[in-house]
Amino acid sequence: MTQARSAELSAALTAARNRVDAAVRAAGRAEGDVTLLVVTKFFPASDVVALLDLGVREVGESREPEASRKLVEVSRARPDIAFDADMIGRVQRKKARSVARWARRVHSVDSLDLIEALGGAARRSLDDGERTAPLGVLLQMSLDGDPDRGGLVEADLAAAADRVACSDALRLDGLMVIAPLGSPPEAAMADAAAIRERFAASHPDAVEFSAGMSGDLEEAIAAGSTCVRVGTAIMGARPLLSP
């Protein structure tokens, strides 16, 4: 880790935090309502270590086994700093076991088969002492029904929530959304917020709403997001060679 890279991350992190704070104020929401999840996929463990030194305690990863390898390195480098890592990318069922070892929650749950796989994997991780709490689940909603981008249409959310409830190794934390390509962010986030409101009527404890990234976090926060997933605005352009 060079001094220049550390300074770059520090400045970008401060700018992102200021954006979130300003959006929270503009929306008339309380300070601390929104979590800034720093997305560190494709970036080396040294960057995550630098972020921990800057006070970050929640990061997002999207690729396995990259995440497992990286998080081991980070924990070895900073054994005295506790932090959480969330899985924000699509999960293959065959990799559910690996993800269940390290993820606090999975943001991208979009099928009954994946719920079954994660439930079994989380149960084994609990039994083996690899985790001490159920694996959090965010159901990814689809606003446009595009299968290539993942997600559940609103009509399928209830069945997925019921399946999560069948596993004592899983915990339904809420919903996640990615705005459709080409859709105006404000309109997309308003649609997602309406779905969330209807979903909350029958699942009042599922309060998390993961919505908003580098380009649309203001619109997401205005629509009620509790977690914005910010990568590029903090980490910069994706490196040519991923870790």
Instruction: Give the tens place of pLDDT for each residue, 182-237.
Output: 999 999 999 999 999 999 999 999 999 999 999 999 999 999 999 999 999 999 99
| Whole-number pLDDT of residue 22 | 99
Q: Give the residue numbers spanning the domain of 98.
A: 88-209
Q: Which helix (H) or strand (E) holds 39?
A: strand 35-39
Q: Is 241 a domain residue?
A: no
- Is the pLDDT at 59 greater than 90? The verdict is yes
Q: What are phi and psi of 106, to 5 degrees?
A: -115, 125
Euclidean distance between CA atoms 230 and 218, whole angstroms:
12
- Is the pLDDT at 174 greater than 80? The verdict is yes
DSSP string across 119-148: HHHHHHHHHTTS-SSPEEEEEEE-SS--GG
Task: Identify which of 187, 30, 173, 177 has the alpha carbon closest to the alpha carbon of residue 105.
Answer: 173
Q: Is 68 a domain residue?
A: no
Beta-carbon count within 10 A of 37 CB:
23
How many domains is the chain partitioned into structurally? 1
Euclidean distance between CA atoms 128 and 45, whole angstroms:
26
User: Residue with structure tokens 């099928």?
Assistant: 111
Q: Is 61 a domain residue?
A: no
Q: Is 6 a domain residue?
A: no
Q: What is the mean pLDDT of residues 3-7?
A: 96
CATH, residue 96: 3.20.20.10
Q: Is 93 a domain residue?
A: yes
Q: Are 85 and 61 in contact (CB under 8 A)?
A: yes
SS3 197: helix
Tell me the whole-structure pTM to 2 decimals.
0.96
pLDDT band at 242 (very low <50, low <70, confident <90, very high): low
Cross-strand bridge partners of residue 208:
174
Residues 6+ apart with CB under 8 A from 80: none
Euclidean distance between CA atoms 216 and 209, whole angstroms:
14
Q: Is 190 a domain residue?
A: yes
| Whole-number pLDDT of residue 241 | 65
Q: What is the mean pLDDT of residues 58-65?
A: 97
Q: Are 40 and 59 in contact (CB under 8 A)?
A: yes
Mean pLDDT over each residue of the chain, to the nearest integer: 97
- Is the pLDDT at 147 greater than 90? The verdict is no
Q: Are 86 and 104 in contact (CB under 8 A)?
A: yes
| Whole-number pLDDT of residue 232 | 97
Euclidean distance between CA atoms 238 and 243, whole angstroms:
11
Q: Is 10 a domain residue?
A: no
Q: Is 67 a domain residue?
A: no
Task: Identify which of 222, 233, 235, 213 has the alpha carbon closest to the alpha carbon of residue 16.
Answer: 233
